[in-house]
Amino acid sequence: MLPYNPFQKFGLNSVTAVFSRKQDGNMSLSYGDTKSSLANRKKFLGSIGIDYRSLICAQQVHGKNVEYVRQENKGSGALDYASSIMDTDGFITDQPGVPLAILTADCLSIFIYDPERPAIAILHAGWRSTEKNISQAGISRMREKFGSQAKDLLVGFGPSIRSCCFQVEEDFKSNFSFGLLKREGGIFMDIALINQRQLVGCGVEEENIFDPAFCTFSDDDFFSFRKEAQAAGRLISVMMLK
């Protein structure tokens, strides 16, 4: 299966933005069964012309730090987890040929493309990072570093657990003023909807946000931490300027 590219909707070919599916295997070097992870990365990334040894990965901490990375950072976390860039949940770059990666199982991956600079960002948005507004943090970093303007940005969402399946505790109501849906059985959260609103709040045009609306819990094509707990592998989201 061809990797999915959220920017196809915009007819742009100067950026790679893909995520793997469960059938591509576990892509994590630290979670789930990791014995085939490097081989899985090699096969999946090779199919889209990316050398798995040049990947830049993060030691994700559910925060909102977004790191600027360049050619010299290539390979961080590519072959072992320990060399991943520490304490970050997102990357930005304006350099071509620098593949940025985020690993998820239920959390949302967010791809941001500024075709004007050009520059890109990839973000790891679980509910904690969403609460901290990592979308805004990512856009701020792009503005500081590259002069990106929100109105120019194109955004694609990866798969995540959705409000059909993501039941949360009552006390989430005090942390989120929107994106929580009350229905029979409890309160359900839509991480993608909240990030979409946060992006629009930063000045991103609503029609420039593409949400394919895959639910990782409902759809067996994806890993789900809620469903599989510690056994869950991770899917990889990768973005690169060509």
Q: Which residues are near Zn ion by CB under 5 A? A: 162, 164-165, 215, 217-218
Residues 78, 57: Cα–Cα separation, whole Å: 7
- DSSP state letter for 188: E
- Work out the number of other CB atoms within 10 angstroms of the CB of residue 31: 19
Amino acid (1-letter code) at residue 184: E
Closest CB 214 distance from Zn ion, rounded Å: 9
Which string of DSSP letters, residue by residue, matches 103-164? EESSSEEEEEEETTTTEEEEEEE-HHHHHTTHHHHHHHHHHHHH---GGG-EEEE--B--TT
Give SS3 for 205: coil
Nearer to Zn ion, 39 or 164 (CB): 164
Closest CB 212 distance from Zn ion, rounded Å: 13
Nearer to Zn ion, 120 or 215 (CB): 215
Closest CB 209 distance from Zn ion, rounded Å: 20
Q: Tokens at residue 237, please? A: 């989201």
Nearer to Zn ion, 161 or 236 (CB): 161
Closest CB 46 distance from Zn ion, rounded Å: 31
Nearer to Zn ion, 86 or 168 (CB): 168
Closest CB 73 distance from Zn ion, rounded Å: 35
Task: State yes or no: cis peptide before 118, omega within 30 of 0.
Answer: yes
Which residue do the tokens 């931490």 mark? Answer: 225
Nearer to Zn ion, 21 or 162 (CB): 162
